[in-house]
Amino acid sequence: MTTPELAGAKPLSNKHAIVPGGTRGIGAAIARKLLAQGARVTIIGRNPQSMEKTLVPFVESGEMARLSADVTDTQALAKAFANASEHFGAIQILVNSAGQASSAPFLKTDAQLWQRMLSVNLDGTVHCIQAALPGMLVAGWGRIVTVASTAGLVGYAYVSAYCASKHAIIGLTRALALEVATKGVTVNAVCPGFTETEMLEATIANITAKTGRTAESARGDLAARNPQKKLVQPEEVANAVCWLCSPGSESITGQAIAVAGGEVM
């Protein structure tokens, strides 16, 4: 009998992966990588135009779908997950990629900024896991990967709310991994350093606006924090995520894996 490996099957063939926040940046790179590995991919986002842009190269494949929902809206999110399951089957892989970043000195971090960081980065992750996990437990197999940040492993000045939300995600990852350790479900986080995305461009714009420095200077300082002296590429994060979802990673759970050129050890 011919095995899937001998037949050239892709490692995630017949798996349904859902990627909240998969419309741009790291999330879009993850969605593309999952698709290339054979998964059927559903992306969830708030911006239809961003979703359209992400989907363009894959329209003919028929293996990627888009759904509109805000991860902070539990009812809309539950409906989106239900629709995704109806379209592509049970959700076997969840990659939490939706997130926001805002900076401010701690004493200027008002309640609105603080709550927004927690609502999107932490609560949104919780809502997505609660929507996907029951089906994984029934099936006895699942992969949950959350895109956190090196800010979930160390502290950075002027982003206390963002750091707090990402640290909380790491704690959630470790606790949940233990809870489902015998259920065939692994739960991990990847923690990128400064990554070449639209979010980074916004950070650079903020630095230049507040300090008067050039964008080139600000970009150089951010890259210098990486011992490899470069910015992380979204595809590098996507590679780590896909490895955690692929055969051979079954014993990797409860981990927060830094993708940061050695910045965090």
Bridge-partner residues for 159, per DSSP? 104
pLDDT in the model for residue 58: 57
pLDDT for the residue 55 = 59
Instruction: Find the range with the poorest average confidence among 42-51, 75-84, 125-134.
Output: 42-51
Question: Within a domain: residue 202?
Answer: no
Q: 186 by DSSP, 3-state: which?
A: strand
pLDDT on residue 110: 97
Residue 10 CA: distances (Å) to CA of 14, 54, 166:
9, 22, 32
SS (H, E, C) 109-153: CCHHHHHHHHHHHHHHHHHHHHHHHHHHHHHCCEEEEEECCHHHC
Residue with tokens 């993850």: 30
Please state, for a pLDDT cut of 90, what percent of the chain lies above it: 74
Is residue 158 part of the annotated active site? The answer reads: no
Domain enclosing residue 190, as ranges: 16-195+232-259
pLDDT digits (tens, 9 = 90+) for 41-69: 999 998 766 666 655 555 545 588 889 99
pLDDT of residue 91: 97
**Per-residue buried b or exposed e for 85-122, using 16+ beta carbons within 10 Å of the residue's own CB:** beebeebbbbbbbbbbbbbbeeeebeeebbebbbbbbb
The pTM assigned to this predicted structure is 0.91
Return mean pLDDT, the chain: 91
Give the contacts of 33 (CB within 8 A, at least 6 positions apart). Answer: 235, 238, 239, 241, 242
151 located within any domain = yes
- Whichever domain contains 140, its CATH number is 3.40.50.720
How much is the pLDDT for 258? 98
What is the distance between the alpha carbons of residues 16 and 158, in angstroms, rounded to a whole number?
38
Alpha-carbon dihedral angle through residues 122, 128, 133, 134, given to the nearest 10 degrees: 120
Which amino acid, one-letter code, is at 177?
A
Residue 56 has what pLDDT?
A: 58
- CA 69 – CA 265 distance, rounded (Å): 36
Which residue is catalytic, options 81, 114, 162, 243?
162
- Encoded tokens for 173: 């990852």
pLDDT exceeds cutoff 50 at 1:
no
Phi-psi category of residue 236: left, alpha or beta, with phi > 0 → left and psi -120 to 50 → alpha: alpha
Cα-only R_g, the chain: 18
Q: Is the pLDDT of residue 18 over 70?
A: yes
What pLDDT is recorded for position 115?
97
Report which of 94, 98, 263 is spatially closest to residue 194, judged by C-alpha positions.
263
Residue 201 lies in a domain: no
Instruction: Give the C-alpha separation, 208 to 65, whole Å.
Output: 38
How many CB atoms are closer than 10 A to CB 82? 12
Quick check: 16 and 92 in contact, CB under 8 A? yes
Q: Which range, of 9-18, 182-191, 237-246, averages the lowest pLDDT?
A: 9-18
Residue 220 lies in a domain: no
Q: How far apart are CA 105 and CA 108, in angstroms?
A: 5
Name the domain count of the chain.
1
Torsion of CA 46, 202, 187, 31, to 10 degrees: 60
Which of 240, 256, 19 is CA-nearest to residue 151? 256
Q: Residue 8 — pLDDT band, cuts 50, 70, 90? A: low
